[in-house]
């Protein structure tokens, strides 16, 4: 399994509610249709200045294909700006 980790800078005054709404309206429908997607999770920092999108894929090729569509410096939902994108191999997974 492979993961794409996308870190974003959030606009000043971003609230979890506003960010959640922007993600549900724009990102969720598009991401749900990605080839090889296992799951996706979006998070927001306590200070509301950063967020992280975590996308897990079955194959490295699918993860790299997704990462190629997320350009550093580009706009993200809710007025966020992409700061960093990484592709990582998942070594261990624990579910509850």
Residues 6+ apart with CB under 8 A from 65: 35
Fold (CATH) for 2-89: Alpha-Beta Plaits (3.30.70)
Q: What is the pLDDT of residues 20-54, one digit of tens each?
A: 999 999 999 888 889 999 999 999 999 999 999 99
Position 75 scores a pLDDT of 93
Maximum pairwise Cα distance, the chain: 37
Mean residue pLDDT of the chain comes to: 95
pLDDT band, residue 10 (cuts 50/70/90): very high
Position 85 scores a pLDDT of 98
User: DSSP per residue over 57-72, as a string?
Assistant: ESSHHHHHHHHTT--T
Domain ranges of the chain: 2-89
Position 55 scores a pLDDT of 97
């Amino acid at each position: 399994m492979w993961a794409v980790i996308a870190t974003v800078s959030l606009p000043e005054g971003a609230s979890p509610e506003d960010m959640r709404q922007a993600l549900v309206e724009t990102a969720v429908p598009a991401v749900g249709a990605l080839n090889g997607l296992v799951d996706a999770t979006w998070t927001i920092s306590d200070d509301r200045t950063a967020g992280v999108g975590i996308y897990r894929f079955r194959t490295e090729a699918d993860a790299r294909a997704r990462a190629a569509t997320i350009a550093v410096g580009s706009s993200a939902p809710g007025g966020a700006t992409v700061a960093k994108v990484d592709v990582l191999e998942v070594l261990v997974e624990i579910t509850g």
